Amino acid sequence: MKNFEYYNPVRILFGKGAISKISMHLPEGVPVLLVYGGGSIRKNGVYDQVISALGSTEFYEYPGVQPNPVYEQLMPALDIIREKKIGFILAVGGGSVIDGAKFLAAAACYTGTDPWEILSMHAAVKVALPLGTVLTLPATGTEMNGNSVVTRLSVKHKLAFGSSAVMPVFSVLDPEVTYSLPKNQIANGIIDAFIHVLEQYLTYPSKAEVQDRFAESLLMILRSTGSKVFADSEPDYDNMANFMWAATNALNTSISMGVTSDWSTHTIGHELTVLYGFDHAVSLAIVLPGVMTHLSVKREQKMLQFAERIWGITSFDHQAAIMESIRLTEDFFRCLGVKTKLSDYGIGAEVIGQVIDQLKSHDVNMLGGAGDLSIEDVPAILASRI
């Protein structure tokens, strides 16, 4: 096992009615900026619960955060933060709203020229406004980590930053607020969380047994209970609760401690989203089987462990076992209603050059953290997905 440092001070308020506990964890006497998305929270009662929980707290609103949150849309919020002396950001929404709020929290305290440098130049984020979240879509895990991904449309860049300064002070996870989610968003959330686990697990043996077993636990739950959540004609509280807590644990950094992580599927997937507007999870579902197939020999040991422990496949023919596990993984995504080939979306070989150009524009040469994938591997991976 590699050396590691683990630190996760996010307070999780989990369960029915948990939104009402927000007020106990807000700093006193400080104006709050309520950040949210397209307005679904106004229809499903979440907005009302939040306003009620805020009580007499002075607050302002910044709605309209888009999926794959957009730099250009976020920046005007900084004026409100300055003018109203905002001291706390409350993000109510899914991963995009929370990631957008994290960027605002960091940007509000940024002392350089342009906050975009936080993303483009990896400018260190040592101070940020404190923030809390009310999660409405189990998927990204951002509610319990210090990561954020933001897109700048004008330059077609979708970039990430990370800092413990933007870890939420608290995150509310009430499974009941997810009951009104459309099925495709639930499917996206299941796939997103499943692939988050794989990005941290499916590389090389690190002799990290707790991390491996925990990762496998989450994969089994996301596969079995995730499928139930997708199939349930009426929402089932416990199924949703288990999916929700599994998705959070999938990216709260615990399973990445002391192991070799990857994230190459995300690197390629981000470019597909920027180029074609794919949902984040859909882009991952398209790319992952290509990455797995391409690395099936190099990563044989861990892929066999995945095949055996998650899909129950054992075979003397190791590559056959791995290929079967990839097929079952892709089937799992398709059973959740997500098409997994670029050709399913009318995209052909032109994608290869476009993605390569994008990667080059960010100076990406090596992909992921495992050191076994470079930009030269990307054409073969994408070609296998057409």
Q: Interacting stretch for a copy of itself, rule CB under 8 A, among 2-10, 58-66, 113-121, 327-335? A: 2-10
With beta carbons less than 8 A apart as the criterion, state whether 202 and 303 touch: yes
Amino acid at 384: S
The 201-230 contact track toward a copy of itself, x by CB under 8 A, reads: ------xxxx--xx-xxx-xx---x-----
Long-range contacts of range 298-303, CB-CB < 8 Å, 24 or more positions apart? Answer: 298/372, 299/202, 299/203, 299/204, 299/370, 299/372, 301/204, 301/205, 302/201, 302/202, 302/203, 302/204, 302/205, 303/202
- Please pick, from the candidates 13, 32, 81, 310, the single residue that binds a copy of itself as defined by CB under 8 A: 13
Give me the least distance between CB of 134 and a copy of itself, in Å please: 15
Binds a copy of itself (CB under 8 A): choice among 11, 84, 341, 362? 11
Task: Show the CA angle centred on residue 274, arms to residues 282 and 144, nearest 5°.
Answer: 65
Burial 323-349 (b: 16+ CB within 10 A, else e): bebbeebbebbeebebebbbeeeebee
Name the minimum Å distance from CB 206 to a copy of itself.
9
What is the Cα Rg of the chain in Å? 20
* Residue from the set 72, 232, 238, 357 that interacts with a copy of itself by CB under 8 A: 238
167, 128 Cβ separation under 8 angstroms: no
Site string for a copy of itself, 27-66 (x = CB under 8 A): ----------------------------------------
Instruction: Give ∠ CA 74-77-82 in degrees, rounded to 5.
Output: 145
Given candidates 16, 42, 327, 339, which one binds a copy of itself under the rule CB under 8 A?
16
Residue 249: burial class (beta carbons within 10 Å; 0-12, 13-18, 19+): buried
Residue 358 CB neighbour total at 10 angstroms: 19
Nearest distance from C-beta of residue 54 to a copy of itself, angstroms: 19
| Smallest separation, CB 99 to a copy of itself (Å) | 22
Is 286 within 8 Å of 191 (Cβ atoms)? no
Query: How many residues of this chain interact with a copy of itself, rule: CB under 8 A?
Result: 39
Residue 229 near residue 338 (C-beta atoms within 8 A): no
Amino acid at 306: F
Residue 5 binds a copy of itself (CB under 8 A) = yes
Whichever of 18 and 351 has its CB closer to a copy of itself, that residue is 18
CB 314 to a copy of itself: min, Å: 16
* Window of 10-18, 61-69, 185-193, 338-346 that interacts with a copy of itself by CB under 8 A: 10-18
Q: How far is the CB of 118 from a copy of itself (least distance, A)?
A: 24
Q: Which of residues 242-261 bind a copy of itself (CB under 8 A)?
A: 242, 245-246, 249, 257-258
Q: Can you tell me which residue has the tokens 């794989």?
A: 198
Cβ proximity to a copy of itself: between 252 and 283 the closer is 252
* Spatial separation of the C-alpha atoms in residues 87 and 31, rounded to whole Å: 6
The residues of the shown chain that bind a copy of itself, judged by CB under 8 A, are 1-9, 11-18, 21, 207-210, 213-214, 216-218, 220-221, 225, 237-238, 241-242, 245-246, 249, 257-258
